[in-house]
């Protein structure tokens, strides 16, 4: 199985840097799939993985779309990264190969490695001699699988709620999808392209929590949210993180010096340059969500200014590569345009007060 090189045109790169991407988002998915395939090829050098790898090759010969569908599942990318780094079992490739064979309609006999619970990526969880399919949440072009990662692979700091209330999740995500599709169809289309899996997290006393994993492209972890608006902005926010994670497979945007840390207006802890860049790009998406939304003036004012402040910090930090400077320069250009848009004085004052309060709290905690 070969992995082809991927390229973005200058226009596609600029579109991504300005917060969108359109067709370029499909390139990012294909590039991430290629990365996963390269990891699997390295894993196949282990004798325990060879039978599964040969099966995967055969399925790809007759049913390439089935293999692509399985390789795109976030758990496969996460497992392949761990295994390629020596932190996962090469023989677990059998689960990926079996899932591809099932999807491709290829009959096969394959021995699974010992596992308390096994999952076939993109299909479901083994229960006795059967398979319990992953539930889906589908709205128009958006189809999200609900996966609690029964086969493992989620970092301990990301708790998963295995007792998900599926009807409530469908109701909230459905309302959020309708809101996104009505308010910003371009963002809705990107969310539908990027996000393939939702993983529920337990309720958080601090409010709604969400996360993405760089190696699990397409999965959004999220806790219960109070309303559809919160779910919608969360999906827009996390899709930005996923896009940037895939883009950094293709381009080095930050210099490999991790010693310097910076203030981030959306965090309570100092952030390295790579984390700061992720925050800027995610909050570019947050500001876009609130832009022009009735009742969203304070949020828009807060996050457009915060993201511009951090973009300018990055541009002056020396922490970016030449490509990174070009990327963040485009981000900053959009934010400068937005910051010039008029807003009610009350909204600007409230946003400025929130920003000052956060900065003072952060300074007190980290500057002594």
pLDDT digits (tens, 9 = 90+) for 245-280: 999 999 999 999 778 899 999 999 999 999 999 999
Of the pLDDT bands very low, low, confident and very high (cuts 50, 70, 90), residue 3 is low
- Residue 368, pLDDT score: 59
Q: Is 144 left (phi over 0), alpha (psi -120 to 50) or beta?
A: beta
DSSP for 81-112? HHHHTTSS-GGGHHHHHHHHHHHHT-----PP
- Residue 2, pLDDT score: 60
- Residue 134, pLDDT score: 95
CA distances 225 to 134, 252, 270, Å, are 22, 35, 27
Judge whether residue 48 has pLDDT over 70. Answer: yes
Residue 139 vs residue 144, higher pLDDT: 144
Place of tokens 């290829």: 106
- Residue 1, pLDDT score: 61
176: which residues sit within 8 A by CB, 6+ positions away? Answer: 228, 229, 231, 232, 235
185: which residues sit within 8 A by CB, 6+ positions away? Answer: none
Judge whether residue 71 has pLDDT over 90. Answer: yes
Alpha-carbon distance of 202 to 222, in angstroms, equals 8
Q: At residue 310, what are phi and psi to the nearest 5 degrees?
A: -75, -35
3 state DSSP class of 125: strand
pLDDT digits (tens, 9 = 90+) for 181-205: 999 999 999 999 999 999 999 987 7
Q: What is the mean pLDDT of residues 81-89?
A: 95
Of the pLDDT bands very low, low, confident and very high (cuts 50, 70, 90), residue 108 is confident
Q: What is the mean pLDDT of residues 44-57?
A: 96
Alpha-carbon distance of 167 to 63, in angstroms, equals 34
- Full-model pTM: 0.95
Mean pLDDT in the chain? 94
- Residue 128, pLDDT score: 72
- Residue 126, pLDDT score: 87
pLDDT digits (tens, 9 = 90+) for 284-312: 999 999 999 999 999 999 999 999 999 99
301 within 8 A of 338, measured Cβ to Cβ = no
- Residue 202, pLDDT score: 92
DSSP for residue 227:
S
- Residue 84, pLDDT score: 95
pLDDT digits (tens, 9 = 90+) for 315-347: 999 999 999 999 999 999 999 999 999 999 999
Q: Give the number of other CB atoms < 10 A from CB of residue 78.
A: 24
What percent of the chain clears pLDDT 70, i.e. is strictly above it? 99
> 125-129, 173-177, 350-354: which range is least confident on average?
125-129
Q: What is the mean pLDDT of residues 120-132?
A: 88
- Residue 4, pLDDT score: 64
- Residue 37, pLDDT score: 95
Judge whether residue 206 has pLDDT over 80. Answer: no
- Residue 125, pLDDT score: 94
- Quickly list H helices, the chain: 10-17, 24-43, 50-62, 64-71, 74-84, 93-104, 166-183, 185-194, 228-250, 273-290, 297-315, 322-339, 345-366
Question: HSE of 173 in the Cβ direction (CA atoms, 13 Å)?
Answer: 30
Alpha-carbon distance of 144 to 134, in angstroms, equals 10
Judge whether residue 52 has pLDDT over 80. Answer: yes
What percent of the chain clears pLDDT 90, i.e. is strictly above it? 85
């Amino acid at each position: 199985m070969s992995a082809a090189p991927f390229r973005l045109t200058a226009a596609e790169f600029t579109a991504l840097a300005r917060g969108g991407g359109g067709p370029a988002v499909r390139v990012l998915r294909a590039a991430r799939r290629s990365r996963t395939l390269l990891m699997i090829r390295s894993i196949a050098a282990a004798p325990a993985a060879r039978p599964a790898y040969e099966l995967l090759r055969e399925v790809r010969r007759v049913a390439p779309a089935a293999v692509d569908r399985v390789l795109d599942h976030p758990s496969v990318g996460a497992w392949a990264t761990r295994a390629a780094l020596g932190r996962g079992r090469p023989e677990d490739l059998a689960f990926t190969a079996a899932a591809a064979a099932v999807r491709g309609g290829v009959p096969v006999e394959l021995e699974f490695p010992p596992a308390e619970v096994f999952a076939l990526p993109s299909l479901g969880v083994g229960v006795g001699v059967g398979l319990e399919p992953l539930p889906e949440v589908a709205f128009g072009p958006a189809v999200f699988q609900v996966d609690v990662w029964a086969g493992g692979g989620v970092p301990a700091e990301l708790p998963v709620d295995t007792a998900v209330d599926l009807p409530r999740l469908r109701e909230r995500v459905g309302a959020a999808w309708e809101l996104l599709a009505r308010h910003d169809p371009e963002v809705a289309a990107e969310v539908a392209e990027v996000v393939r899996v939702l993983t529920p997290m337990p309720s958080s006393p601090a409010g709604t929590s969400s996360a993405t994993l760089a190696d699990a492209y397409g999965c959004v972890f999220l806790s219960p949210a109070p309303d559809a608006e919160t779910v919608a902005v969360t999906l827009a926010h996390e899709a930005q993180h996923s896009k940037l994670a895939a883009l950094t497979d293709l381009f080095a945007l930050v210099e490999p010096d991790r010693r310097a840390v910076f203030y981030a207006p959306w965090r309570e802890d100092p952030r390295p340059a790579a984390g700061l860049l992720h925050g800027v790009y995610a909050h570019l998406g947050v500001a876009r969500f609130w832009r022009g939304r009735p009742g969203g003036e304070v949020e828009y004012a807060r996050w457009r200014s915060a993201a511009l402040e951090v973009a300018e910090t990055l541009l002056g930090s020396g922490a970016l590569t030449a490509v990174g400077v070009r990327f963040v320069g485009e981000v900053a250009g959009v934010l400068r345009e937005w910051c010039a848009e008029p807003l009610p004085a009350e909204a600007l004052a409230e946003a400025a007060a929130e920003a000052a309060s956060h900065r003072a709290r952060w300074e007190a905690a980290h500057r002594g």
